[in-house]
Chains A and B, each alone.
Chain A
């Protein structure tokens, strides 16, 4: 049975996982340096890079141990690692270490696209996955609609033309003085607020599948400055509803145009309650299987990287040890 060690260091999570060819997760360890970044209102690349270099070794050791593997002679068939997109200084730590593990153990090494990793996440939680699948991939760095005809076969239908959805959450949270990261805190506040309190513009009404959150972020800042009497919870609810409205409208249109068997939500923003409820309702309406990731699978993790690496390795073989990090590697170019 093919077994892969996955490594993920593209942002602030340092992660390692062992996954087998049945997409069974034998171990998955995640450490985050998020606490170090809070004061700066965003992930600071130098801090993230420093954290990875001290954390990665112990994280890999734990992943091997929990999978019951010998630390010096692990029964694995490949080492998979995120080689892009992400923060260059962070990617380099995982990439360098992954090459060294592979070289030392005498096993192949596979560079994986982080976004493709997110697309493999449902395979780790569902054995009954049917294709094609429409996936809404939303995170702090990316927002896109992807049509998957099978594992590793994907078409980006549209993506954000400016900010990512998670980035808009962070910026609005910072402006409202709610700290960083913005997603969980705005989501929690929004539950107690009135989404109709602020009238926000409806953006991206065209028939394409592209997204945009920059204008919405600005509109929230303006509207809440103009209506200082509106409660914070109402601002949060109005913003959250507008984000979900745009994403769900595009998803609905994609489901009207493309015939699929299921709909999936992926990425950090997949933890958002409004989005989960909305996607679930859409899936019901279109009578489709709905794949909402567990909260653990929304976060960046190495199990999804190992899964994507497993597929890449089996379908396309190993990568060269000379592979470089690609901080701007687009999913469309995988």
Chain B
């Protein structure tokens, strides 16, 4: 099995490739929201360097969010079209589970809070238990950084925070007495490749927005017609 991984949930854009022999290559192509410009060109280059052609890819794994809306759409549109064109399998993962697996892979254990920057002063957050394996404790939600910090500071339970949402509000998160921080600016592409190889494929990938479009619609309409 040859797996191609696509990661566009944050301002960074990354691709990964796992060859039939299990060799993994991952690259962060850009960190400045230039997903559209770098993604397909990056995939082409990565395949060429591995001496593979597009038709050698048997599975495409893509991060469906939560994260930057436009980034997600670029990644999902690219992954879906690529898989549709080849008739190959498509696997979806979430940004927050990739962060959890990324932390697990570097030895983090116990409670982990993964947070992706949701803009507008909010985070996309999910809590995991990293023990024998990575298990989610709850569903991903939208939350304000202060509320997450207060919740964990008052609980007193040991916890590790990770993700670009934590990096953005690092001073707030550093104030949690029993909290530890680990840096992961990009959801783990190695985790995406590993999950992509083992998880059941899905016929279509649906973006995980966590915000209703109607609310955004009202917001943008109000903005336009003050």
Footprint of B on A, CB under 8 Å? 40-42, 44-47, 49-50, 52-54, 56-57, 60-61, 71-72, 88-89, 92-106, 320-325
CA A239 – CA B213 in complex, angstroms? 34
Interface centre among B36, B73, B76 (most CB of A within 10 A): B36
Complexed CA–CA distance, A320 and B75 (Å): 18
**Is B216 an interface position by the 8 A CB rule?**
yes
B86 touching A104 by the CB < 8 A rule?
Answer: yes
A46 and B220 in contact, given A92-B73, A96-B73, A100-B85 (Cβ under 8 angstroms): yes
Pick the residue among A41, A46, A56, A88 that contacts B77 (CB under 8 A).
A56
Complex: how many Å from CA A148 to CA B69?
A: 39
Q: Do the beta carbons of B217 and A321 come within 8 Å of each other?
A: no
Q: How far is the CA of A96 from the CA of B37 in the complex (A)?
A: 9
Question: Which chain B residues border A88 with CB–CB below 8 Å?
Answer: 70
| A and B contact pairs by CB, cutoff 8 A, 22 listed | A40-B217, A40-B218, A44-B220, A47-B217, A49-B70, A50-B73, A53-B76, A53-B207, A60-B81, A61-B84, A72-B85, A88-B70, A89-B70, A92-B70, A92-B73, A93-B74, A95-B36, A101-B82, A101-B85, A102-B40, A103-B82, A104-B86
Interface: B54 (CB within 8 A): yes
Grouping DSSP codes into helix (H, G, I), strand (E, B) and loop, the B interface class, with mixed when no group exceeds half, is: helix
Question: If A50-B207, A103-B82 touch, does A96 touch B221 (CB 8 Å cutoff)?
Answer: no
A96 touches B54 (CB 8 A): no
Instruction: Determine if B36 and A96 form an interchain contact, defined as CB atoms under 8 angstroms apart.
Output: yes
Q: Is the CB of A89 within 8 A of B220?
A: no
Whether B204 sits at the interface, judged by CB under 8 Å, is yes
Evaluate contact between A44 and B221: CB separation under 8 angstroms. Answer: yes
- Residues of B40-73 whose CB lies within 8 A of A: 40-41, 43-44, 53-55, 69-70, 73
C-alpha spacing A44/B69, complex, angstroms: 14
Enumerate chain A residues within 8 angstroms of B73, measured Cβ to Cβ: 49-50, 52-53, 89, 92-93, 96
A325: chain B residues at CB < 8 Å are 36
Which 5 pairs from chain A and chain B are nearest by CB? A104-B85, A100-B81, A99-B40, A97-B81, A44-B217
Question: Are B37 and A54 in contact, with the CB atoms below 8 A?
Answer: no
- Tell yes or no: B19 within 8 A of A by CB: no
Q: Name the distance in Å between B34's Cβ and chain A's nearest Cβ.
A: 8
Which residues of A lie under 8 Å from residue B206 when comparing CB positions? 54
Q: Please, how many angstroms separate the alpha-carbon atoms of A95 and B75 in the complex?
A: 11
Least distance between B52 CB and chain A CB atoms (Å): 12
Given contact pairs A72-B86, A89-B70, A104-B54, enumerate 14 new A-B contacts (beta carbons under 8 Å). A42-B224, A46-B213, A46-B217, A47-B213, A49-B73, A93-B74, A96-B77, A97-B77, A98-B81, A100-B77, A103-B54, A105-B85, A106-B54, A322-B41
CB neighbours (8 Å) of A95 from chain B are 36
Q: How far is the CA of A61 from the CA of B84 in the complex (A)?
A: 8
